[in-house]
Amino acid sequence: MKISVIVTNYNGQKLLKKFLPYVFENSTEADEIIVTDDASKDDSIKYLKNIQSKYPKLKIIHHIKNIGFAANTNFAVNKAIGDYIVLLNNDINPQKNYIKNSLNHFKDEKVFGIGFAEIGNENWARIFWKGGYIQYNQGKPSNKSHITGWLSGGSSIIKKEYFLKLGGFDTIYKPFYSEDVDLGYRAWKSGYKLIWQPKAQVFHQHESTISRFPKRFTDYVKERNRLLVVLRNITDPKLLLENKLAIFSRCLLGPNYLKIIRAAKKEIKKHPKAIVFPVLTDKEIFSLFY
């Protein structure tokens, strides 16, 4: 069994300097640690090359053109040698034994991946249907492992075979947001399990580069991708009707939502259908989290 750690990066030199040493220190089980850089304009690559002799496990992927979080991660997973892949944001400080405390769950062949517990926010993700959309919130605090609606793309460990089978993160959600919710939903629908493990702890500084984008742009991307998750994944006729009614209501409240609809449909035309191997129905998935 081999393990790869993947750290995604975009203009995060300061974050790499701050957190990457902890990744090496507390990822002793890893056979390699890959930093995959999405065409950073700062000195991220220069910094990584300068420390490569100090950290023999370090491998660097450098994209010349920015391809977005999903494609960047998918590319690195394909290049990784690990059977199990740890996915980390560049502002994550993993704690001791975070990998070790996750691996036991993979004895269950249906487990797709394990979500880490972010210190100060140690809750699993609950998904449910309401108001014509997939909704989510934090589940009840627990000191035991629990099923979770999805796995954070920057704070989890996944089985490479299953990740690739589902095509990884759907690049329709470029540049960011909702790709992990989408993958989690497709994994559940395909009959896999997602687990949250409170003993696999990480500290998330929340200094990601997303926060540097204008709020108006990030709000637009959130709404577009929230709609895309429904249009790409929900197949239940009743739920789809509820979504259409919800869309109509939003359009009545303001014309701006028409832009969201057009943008979502434009992206759907440009991308192939989502990869899923249906085992559970939509209602069966939501019933798991009642």
Share of residues in the chain with pLDDT > 90 (%) = 88
Say if residue 47 is in the same domain as residue 17: yes
Closest CA to 232 of 171, 176, 141: 171
Say if residue 72 is in the same domain as residue 201: yes
The larger pLDDT score, comparing residue 205 to residue 281, is at: 281
Say if residue 58 is in the same domain as residue 187: yes
Say if residue 187 is in the same domain as residue 167: yes
Domain membership flag for residue 37: yes
Domain membership flag for residue 265: yes
Secondary structure E strands in 131-176? 133-138, 146-147, 155-159
Sequential DSSP letters for 4-56: EEEEEESS-HHHHHHHHHHHHHH-TT-SEEEEEE-S-SSSHHHHHHHHTTT-T
**What domain range includes position 115?**
3-209
Could you tell me the pTM of the whole model? 0.94
Say if residue 253 is in the same domain as residue 202: no
Total count of domains within the chain: 2
Distance CA 239, CA 283 (A): 9
The larger pLDDT score, comparing residue 220 to residue 210, is at: 220
Say if residue 106 is in the same domain as residue 250: no
What residues form DSSP beta bridges with 6?
A: 34, 87
What digits encode the pLDDT tens for the residues 167-185? 999 999 998 889 999 999 9
- pLDDT given at position 208: 60
Determine the average pLDDT of the residues in 40-67.
Answer: 97
Task: List all residues 6 or more positions away from 195 whose beta carbon is below 8 Å from its beta carbon.
Answer: 105, 111, 113, 114, 115, 145, 146, 147, 148
Say if residue 155 is in the same domain as residue 224: no
pLDDT for residue 29 is more than 70:
yes
